[in-house]
């Protein structure tokens, strides 16, 4: 028992000193578990996030936009891949994680349970959803677990490109015809509040925050990050000439921040619990890809084994 305590103290001392924890280092079981949960959920968010945007690839309005969107969704698959690999270093397989996703045991970012109904939604997702994700992820580049932090550095670079691309789509629409401007406003109306929900529950309802701060998984609280996002985003919306759908929104000179209205937390929890507009469709799509792909993965494995066996046969013959 005392030895365990000693190890934990040393572990915490390393984190406090700003050292990175690597997969082979000793770590408390709870640290491992928390990271498996968080990294795999992050990976799932990348993969499920491909679906609402993928929904518009075949209908992208120009060749340039189509290529941009294809490349973006492909980047997300790449992010999912590094993150699954980072989680695997903690002793869980990709297969186990996928099963957790499709059985609903693992969560993913709720924002992807909202539908993409127009081309402007692709702009809004890049601008707002990637914008919110970056705020979280920049913080995570300095998290204590090495593979996660390194994955974040790479992911952040690509995400900020995606965010600019999204904003550029919005800008084009906002400066376009009345139909295009209406499309952009409608997308902002639908994605604004869900984007604010991406930072999670209010601090007083977020039980994991304290431990996460101690382990440097979190350096700022949900409410601090949400405020940061709002403060950055409002001037961008103003530049677009679009109206943020919050009548209570206003600059507070004293605080040096925007004040904003109350988030609909009932909606938040409903979507988290699986009752959002597209939760069922997203899981069904991932389940279908997994099931349809089973025979393909089996074939690749069988072929590799046959090839290996032939090699061995050849060697023994010589």
Partner 1 sequence: MKDQLYNYLLMLGDNSMILGHRLSELCGHGPALETDIALTNISLDLFGQVRGFFRYAAEVKGGEATEDSIAFLRYDREHYNCILVEQANVDFAHVIARQFFFDVFQELQLKQLVESKDEEIAAIAVKSLKETKYHLRFSSEWMKRLGDGTEESHERLQAAVDTLYPFTGEFFHETPLEKEMKENGIGVDLELIKTAFDETVSQIFVEATIKMPESKQRMVKGKYGIHSEQLGFILSDFQYMQRAYPNMEW
Residues that bind partner 1 (CB under 8 A): 47, 50-51, 54, 57-63, 65-67, 70-71, 73-74, 77-78, 80-81, 84, 119, 169, 172, 176-177, 179-180, 285, 288-289, 292-303, 306
Task: Identify the three-state secondary structure at position 239.
Answer: helix
300: tokens are: 């690749």
Closest C-alpha to 193, from 246, 145, 148: 246
Helices 146-174, 63-88: crossing angle, 10 deg rounding: 160
**Nearer CB in complex with partner 1: 2/62:** 62
104: tokens are: 């609903």
CB of 17 to partner 1, least distance (A): 36
**Nearer CB in complex with partner 1: 34/55:** 55
CB of 63 to partner 1, least distance (A): 5
Q: How far is CA 312 from the centre of its chain?
A: 44
Gap between the Cα atoms of 16 and 79, Å rounded: 28
Q: What is the CA radius of gyration of the chain?
A: 22
59: part of which helix (H) or strand (E)?
A: none
Per the CB < 8 A criterion, the answer to whether 258 and 250 are in contact is yes
**Nearer CB in complex with partner 1: 50/188:** 50
Residue-level length of the chain: 318
**Nearer CB in complex with partner 1: 176/261:** 176
CB of 170 to partner 1, least distance (A): 12
- Exposure of 206 by Cβ count < 10 A (0-12 exposed, 13-18 middle, 19+ buried)? middle
CB of 291 to partner 1, least distance (A): 10
**Nearer CB in complex with partner 1: 77/312:** 77
CB of 295 to partner 1, least distance (A): 5
**Nearer CB in complex with partner 1: 2/295:** 295
Residue ranges of alpha helices (H) inside the chain are: 2-16, 29-54, 63-88, 94-102, 119-124, 130-140, 146-174, 178-197, 209-214, 222-240, 265-270, 279-317
CB of 87 to partner 1, least distance (A): 13
CB of 308 to partner 1, least distance (A): 13
Per the CB < 8 A criterion, the answer to whether 120 and 184 are in contact is yes
**Nearer CB in complex with partner 1: 30/59:** 59
């Amino acid at each position: 028992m005392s030895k365990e305590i000693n190890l934990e103290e040393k572990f915490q001392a390393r984190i406090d000193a700003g050292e990175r924890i690597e997969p082979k280092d000793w770590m408390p079981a709870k640290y491992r578990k928390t990271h498996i949960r968080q990294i795999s959920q992050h990976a799932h968010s990348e993969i499920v996030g491909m679906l609402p945007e993928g929904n518009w690839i075949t209908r992208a309005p120009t060749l340039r936009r189509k290529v941009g969107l294809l490349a973006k969704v492909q980047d997300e698959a790449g992010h999912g891949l590094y993150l699954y690999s980072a989680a695997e270093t903690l002793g869980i397989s990709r297969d186990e994680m996928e099963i957790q996703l499709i059985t609903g045991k693992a969560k993913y970012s709720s924002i992807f349970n909202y539908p993409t109904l127009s081309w402007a939604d692709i702009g809004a997702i890049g601008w707002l959803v990637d914008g919110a994700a970056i705020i979280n992820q920049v913080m995570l580049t300095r998290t204590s677990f090495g593979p996660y932090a390194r994955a974040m550095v790479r992911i952040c670079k690509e995400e900020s490109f995606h965010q600019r691309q999204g904003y550029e789509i919005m800008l084009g629409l906002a400066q376009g015809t009345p139909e295009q401007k209406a499309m952009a406003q409608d997308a902002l109306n639908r994605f604004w509040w869900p984007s604010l929900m991406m930072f999670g529950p209010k601090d007083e309802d977020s039980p994991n925050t304290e431990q996460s701060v101690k382990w440097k998984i979190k350096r700022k609280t949900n409410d601090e990050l949400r405020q940061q996002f709002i403060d950055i985003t409002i001037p961008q919306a103003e530049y677009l000439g679009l109206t943020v759908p919050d009548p209570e929104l206003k600059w507070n000179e004293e605080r040096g921040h925007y004040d904003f209205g109350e988030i609909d937390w009932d909606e938040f929890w409903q979507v988290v619990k699986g009752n959002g507009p597209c939760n069922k469709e997203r899981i069904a799509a991932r389940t279908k890809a997994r099931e349809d792909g089973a025979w393909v993965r089996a074939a690749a494995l069988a072929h590799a084994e046959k090839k290996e066996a032939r090699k061995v046969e050849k060697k023994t013959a010589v």
